[in-house]
Amino acid sequence: MVNHITLVGRVVFEPELRTIESGESVSTLTLALKRPFKNNDTHTYESDFIRVTLWRGIAENAVQYCKKGSIIGIRGRVAQKTFHYEDEKTFSYPEVVAERLSFIHLGPKDKDQQDDLISD
């Protein structure tokens, strides 16, 4: 069985870095993915919004370089996230756990950061 996913899309909001109790860095972001076909009723392209979790160095790089509207590529796996509420109800949804992050286009206002990436 294979659990592998590749996504290319725009960052919906700027990611923020958090540190969990174990000391690991984690960040989440949402990617907007435009569908390759138009809706039959509205004749417009629709988008899907996918939540992505990034860990350690990938999370730190995303926070440093990704801005709202940046186009990035994510390679990773799908995981099932589950929350348990106080009233003993459970909510579950799939999320993507990033294993690799590729910067495709950071946007014109991020020219200085793009130069930093190229020189590294």
Query: Tens-of-pLDDT digits for all 120 residues of the chain?
Result: 899 999 999 999 999 999 999 999 999 999 999 998 888 898 899 999 999 999 999 999 999 999 999 999 999 999 998 888 888 889 898 999 999 999 998 765 555 554 544 434
Tracing tokens 């919004």 back to the chain, one arrives at 49
CATH number of 5-119: 2.40.50.140
State the chain's mean pLDDT as an integer: 87
Instruction: Report DSSP letters for the chain, one per residue.
Output: ----EEEEEEESS----EE-TTS-EEEEEEEEEEEEEE-TTT-SEEEEEEEEEEEHHHHHHHHHH--TT-EEEEEEEEEEEEEE-TTS-EEEEEEEEEEEEEEEE--GGGHHHHHHHHH-
Domain ranges (residues) in the chain = 5-119
pLDDT of residue 108: 54
Q: The pTM is what?
A: 0.78
What is the distance between the alpha carbons of residues 73 and 6, in angstroms, rounded to a whole number? 7
Q: How far is CA 101 from CA 11, 47, 66, 80, 89, in A?
A: 12, 21, 10, 20, 34
Rounded Cα distance, 3 and 21, in Å: 28
Q: What are phi and psi of 85, to 5 degrees?
A: -85, 165
